[in-house]
């Protein structure tokens, strides 16, 4: 969320920056409401002061007057609250401002490739898709999941289930031991306010799975990514600057409705309602966001390097970025069956956008309150990594070579083949 005070300083510049991303914001209304809001506050404060003076004077003759002032205050205050509510609802639906580095564009076609790493495998046979391979091995079962649960779920079984767990452990260990992240095992449900903090609500409610709960305790949602719960670990806090940066890593299931992607990636486990992901989250001083983003992205690509999977790094254009992001690198892994790169990690700096929503601050050198910067990235999406290993490491007979770094996690198993 944007700080109104900052917007006010240069309204036109704000408008221009936002219009790079979306255009359906009613800027005139925003401005008018802000002015009305401030005017109401001023009126209210004037009356409050009068009332305070009367109360201090303890002059009985003025008590009646104070009562009538009270009712005026109530009225103005009600109006002001309504204005503020409307103001906040406009504000909370405006995305983050893109960083100057971000290329302008509308779709993923306008993203810009930054680098390519690794060797694309050369097969002397027609490479199969991950779901063909998995089903043939008897270790991926989509039909069974449809029967027990519904579309876009999968049973991963036997060696592939083990591989999935090995991936999670390997990634966690790497980030904890080599990259300085603290391991976290978080709740998988988040409150409405927590979802608001990272920007999933109010605008993207349709993508979230909501859990039925007792009334009164508030709405609860299954986390669509651990970013939500890890980032909100610092919500409503004033952090001691010395403790920054915070770096958290968690491996969790993620739940997404994938509304609006009907008919897209319906085959296989590219796009599921539930998937595992190892998530990295950093909380930093606001001027360190860019450095941290590079660092985080390197942590993610390092996993692919170790797994010897070919990938490319892309910077997302303004139109393809997420709501809360100011700048995003996507890491895309090579998928032989599709003959193209597919997203396996997305690393974003959210500048202070989420911090304002979460109310997370620290004191800078000048002892001024500043909002922290938050970043998140996948390191990596487990399901898609599994897919990439299946497809890139497949043999003519349909068996799969286990990457060397994973073997210690799999009882030194070198190859996965049907029993």
Smallest separation, CB 230 to RNA (Å) = 19
Smallest separation, CB 215 to RNA (Å) = 8
Q: Is 32 in the site for RNA (CB under 7 A)?
A: no
Residue-level length of the chain: 419
Output 66 or 302, the one with its CB closest to RNA. Answer: 66
Contacts of 83 (CB under 8 A, 6+ apart): 33, 36, 37, 40
Output 216 or 340, the one with its CB closest to RNA. Answer: 216
Which positions from 34 to 63 touch RNA by CB under 7 A, shown as an x/- string?
----x--xx-xx--xx-xx-xx--x----x
Output 185 or 217, the one with its CB closest to RNA. Answer: 217
Contact 131, 269 (CB under 8 A): yes
Q: Angle formed by the axes of helices 11-19 and 27-57, to 10°? A: 140
Q: Is 71 in the site for RNA (CB under 7 A)?
A: no
Smallest separation, CB 30 to RNA (Å) = 13
Smallest separation, CB 79 to RNA (Å) = 14
Distant-in-sequence contacts of 188-191, Cβ < 8 A, 24+ apart? 188/222, 188/223, 188/229, 188/252, 188/253, 189/220, 189/221, 189/222, 189/223, 190/220, 190/221, 190/222, 190/223, 190/228, 190/229, 190/232, 191/218, 191/219, 191/220, 191/221
Residue in 70, 117, 146, 364 binding RNA, rule: CB under 7 A: 70
Give the distance, in angstroms, between the CA of residue 196 and the centroid of all CA atoms in the same chain: 11
Contact 59, 67 (CB under 8 A): no
Segment near RNA (CB under 7 A); pick from 16-24, 65-73, 227-235, 341-349: 65-73
Site residue total, RNA (CB under 7 A):
25
Which positions from 350 to 379 touch RNA by CB under 7 A, shown as an x/- string?
-----------x-x-----x----------
Smallest separation, CB 397 to RNA (Å) = 43
CA distances from 289 to 245, 284, 353, 357, 374 (A): 10, 7, 12, 17, 7
Binding-site ranges for RNA (CB under 7 A) = 3-5, 38, 41-42, 44-45, 48-49, 51-52, 54-55, 58, 63, 66-67, 70, 216-217, 238, 361, 363, 369
């Amino acid at each position: 969320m944007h700080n109104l005070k900052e917007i006010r300083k240069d309204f036109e510049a704000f408008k221009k920056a936002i219009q790079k991303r979306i255009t359906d914001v009613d800027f005139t209304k925003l401005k008018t409401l802000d002015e009305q809001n401030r005017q109401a506050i001023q009126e209210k404060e004037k009356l409050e002061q009068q009332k305070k003076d009367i109360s201090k004077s303890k002059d009985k003759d003025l008590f009646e007057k104070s009562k009538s002032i009270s009712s005026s205050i109530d009225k103005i205050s009600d109006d002001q609250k309504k204005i503020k509510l409307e103001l906040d609802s406009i504000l909370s639906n405006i995305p983050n401002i893109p960083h100057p580095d971000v290329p302008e564009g509308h779709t993923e076609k306008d993203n810009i490739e930054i680098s390519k790493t690794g060797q694309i495998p050369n097969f002397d046979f027609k490479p199969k898709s991950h779901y063909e391979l998995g089903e043939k091995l008897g270790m991926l079962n989509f039909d069974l999941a449809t029967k027990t649960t519904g579309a876009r779920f999968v049973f991963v079984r036997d060696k592939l289930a083990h591989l999935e767990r090995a991936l999670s452990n390997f990634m966690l260990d790497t980030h904890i031991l080599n990259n300085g992240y603290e391991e976290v095992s978080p709740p998988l449900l988040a409150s409405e306010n927590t979802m608001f903090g990272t920007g999933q609500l109010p605008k993207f409610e349709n993508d979230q799975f909501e859990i039925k709960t007792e009334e009164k305790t508030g709405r609860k949602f299954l986390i669509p990514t651990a970013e939500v719960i890890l980032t909100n670990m610092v919500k409503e806090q004033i952090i001691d600057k010395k403790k920054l940066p915070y770096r958290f890593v968690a491996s969790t299931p993620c739940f997404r409705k994938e509304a609006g992607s009907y008919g897209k990636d319906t085959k296989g486990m590219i796009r599921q309602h539930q998937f595992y992901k190892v998530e990295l989250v950093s909380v930093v001083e606001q001027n360190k966001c860019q450095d941290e983003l590079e660092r985080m992205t390197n942590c993610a690509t390092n996993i692919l390097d170790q797994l010897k999977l070919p990938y490319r790094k892309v910077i997302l254009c303004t139109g393809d970025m997420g709501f809360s992001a100011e700048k995003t690198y996507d890491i895309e892994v090579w998928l032989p069956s599709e003959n193209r790169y597919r997203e396996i990690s997305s690393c974003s700096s959210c500048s202070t956008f989420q911090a304002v929503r979460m109310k997370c601050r620290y004191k800078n050198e000048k002892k001024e309150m500043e909002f922290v910067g938050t970043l998140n990235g996948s390191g990596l999406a487990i399901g898609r990594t599994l897919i990439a290993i299946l497809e890139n490491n497949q043999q003519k007979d349909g068996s799969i070579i286990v990457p060397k770094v994973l073997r210690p996690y799999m009882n030194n198993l070198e190859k996965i083949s049907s029993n």
